[in-house]
Amino acid sequence: MTHTFTATIGIDISKQYLDLYHSTLKQTQRYQNNACGLKLLSAFIAKNTVDCVVFEPRGGYEKKLLKFLCENGIPFSMVHALQVRKFAQAKGIIAKTDLIDAALLAEYGLKMQPKLTSIETALTSNDLRCWVQRRTQVTNLIRLEKQYLEHQDNPIIIASIKKNLDSLKSQILTIDQEIQRCIHETDNLQRKATLLNTEKGIGKVCTSILLSQLPELGQLNNKEIAALVGVAPHNRESGSWKGYQKTSGGRKTVRCALYMATISASRYNSKIKSFYDRLIAKGKKKKVALTACMRKLLIILNATLKLHFYHKDAQT
């Protein structure tokens, strides 16, 4: 079903505030990011025509707004921050404030007409992201406890650490079940997971991180997705001096998961293994070769989703 937005609201979300801009009224508002603020937002939306509320995910600060929109049946589009930033750059907008971002989101909704986000997809994606983040937290706690255990000789403390480790490992099993539930409950996530798992080296943990922390996968070109993860090489030159290319920035959680997947793929995935072996034969350092393989694996995954998920959806 096609839709055309003629009146949009852009909302820039922070821990304390919801900064709003209405595209038709050219009006800005600031509400508290709490129950009282959402009540005022509800009254504002009820008084004015709104075809779509446009906002970006903000590391969990969007949860209250997301729940409010879903419960009240208000159409919304949760858009990717990188795409909005590129839209701003194309318009020559460099300044960045909460109100400018809100106005930009409203205009992005009008000009780009993004797809409406389904309630099921929004809630499940948010739920999945929370469980994946919790798994990372518990995994870090296990690593710390193991480090403490190595340097302890007090039998009471050792027993305490081991008991805590057993509890944390049990939590991991429960969390993994919840992650799989989130994926299997949504057709889109299930289809994406199936496609990603066809590539050797990509297991369930890596898949869940890619789905929750890298929703742009399959929607950007190879250079953009590599830069987003932080595996794109950058030149380092000044005058006659020319340094080694270096990767920097990007999403650390995704990069770490991709690194572990690449280690496995460099042994068991024929495409990655042959590429890795060629680089080593040319005298490349192992770390350099692995980073190049990370980028190649990411590009393969990006192309897989682009061709077999987004391209097929566009045809239907």
Q: What is the CATH code of the structural domain delimited by 8-117?
A: 3.30.420.10
What separation, in Å, do the N-terminal and C-terminal C-alpha atoms of the chain show? 11
Q: Locate the domains of the chain by residue range.
A: 8-117, 120-185, 189-237+247-316
Q: What is the pLDDT of residues 98-124, one digit of tens each?
A: 999 999 999 999 999 988 887 767 777
Q: How far apart are alpha carbons 225 and 264 in whole angstroms?
A: 21
Range 129-151 average pLDDT = 95
Q: What is the pLDDT of residues 188-230, one digit of tens each?
A: 899 999 999 999 999 999 999 999 988 889 888 898 899 889 9
Using the predicted structure, report yes or no on whether residue 33 has a pLDDT greater than 50.
yes
DSSP per residue over 48-73, as a string?
S--SEEEE---TTTTHHHHHHHHHHT
Nearest alpha-carbon partner for 91 in 114, 110, 75: 110
